[in-house]
């Protein structure tokens, strides 16, 4: 929270109208020709600055009154507005909403991908099919590799006959 407070103070100092313009100058090419850029009048700037200051001071006064001048006020308000307090403590239930709308569907999709797509298609078809082809080819080669010289000579003779037959058929 301290880092956010420091960043808010720095951002507030950097963006005080009519005092610092380096950020506006830096961002000006980005918004050149944009219809979104609005330059408020000086009276609106003054009104906004006064309103922001008054609201900030009012917040500080309310916090000082609740926790310093009259301790125990916050506990009474928690009892009186328990439903509203529960909503605020649970951060407007945004975590539960994000869990329902984003996290659970992502988990479901991930489980489906792991259990169905990966196991059936990837492991079954791609990996299992490829390894099955290699296994069948290996079995055929193992059967042909008996270790007997006459078997190797017969395979060599069969290969020479097959190549010769191929060229005879092609030349005809």
Give the structural domain span for 16: 2-27+42-89
Q: Is the pLDDT of residue 10 over 90?
A: no
Q: Is the pLDDT of residue 110 over 80?
A: yes
What pLDDT, on the 0 to 100 scale, is given for residue 50?
A: 93
Q: Is residue 36 part of a domain?
A: no
Q: Is residue 115 part of a domain?
A: yes
- One-character DSSP codes across the chain: -HHHHHHHHHHHHHT-TTT--HHHHHHTTTTTT-SS-----HHHHHHHHHHHHHHHHHHHHHHHIIIIISTTHHHHHHHHTHHHHHHHHTGGGHHHHHIIIIIHHHHHHHHHIIIIIIIIIIIIIIIHHHHHHHHHHHHHHHHH--S-HHHHHHHHHHHHHHHHHHHHHHH-
Number of domains forming the structure of the chain: 2
128 and 107 in one domain? yes
115 and 64 in one domain? no
Query: Mean pLDDT over residues 104-125, rounded?
Result: 89
Mean of per-residue pLDDT scores for the chain: 88
What pLDDT, on the 0 to 100 scale, is given for residue 33?
A: 81
132 and 115 in one domain? yes
What pLDDT, on the 0 to 100 scale, is given for residue 25?
A: 82
132 and 100 in one domain? yes
119 and 51 in one domain? no
The model's pLDDT over 16-74, given as tens digits with 9 standing for 90+, comes to: 777 777 877 888 888 888 887 777 788 888 898 899 999 999 999 999 999 899 998 88
């Amino acid at each position: 929270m301290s880092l956010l407070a420091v960043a808010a103070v720095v951002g507030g100092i950097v963006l005080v109208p009519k005092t610092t313009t380096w950020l506006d100058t830096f961002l000006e090419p980005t918004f050149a020709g944009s219809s979104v850029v609005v330059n408020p009048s000086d009276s609106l700037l003054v009104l906004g600055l006064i309103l922001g200051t008054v609201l900030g001071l009012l917040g500080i006064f309310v916090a000082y009154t609740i926790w310093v001048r009259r301790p125990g006020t916050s506990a009474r308000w928690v009892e009186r507005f328990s439903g509203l307090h529960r909503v605020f403590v649970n951060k407007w239930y945004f975590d539960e909403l994000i869990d329902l709308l984003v996290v659970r569907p992502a988990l479901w999709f991930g489980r489906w991908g792991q259990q169905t797509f990966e196991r059936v298609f990837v492991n079954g078809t791609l990996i299992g099919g490829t390894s099955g082809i290699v296994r069948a080819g290996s079995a055929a080669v193992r059967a042909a590799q008996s270790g007997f010289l006459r078997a190797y000579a017969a395979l060599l003779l069969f290969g020479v006959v097959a190549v010769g037959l191929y060229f005879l058929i092609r030349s005809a």
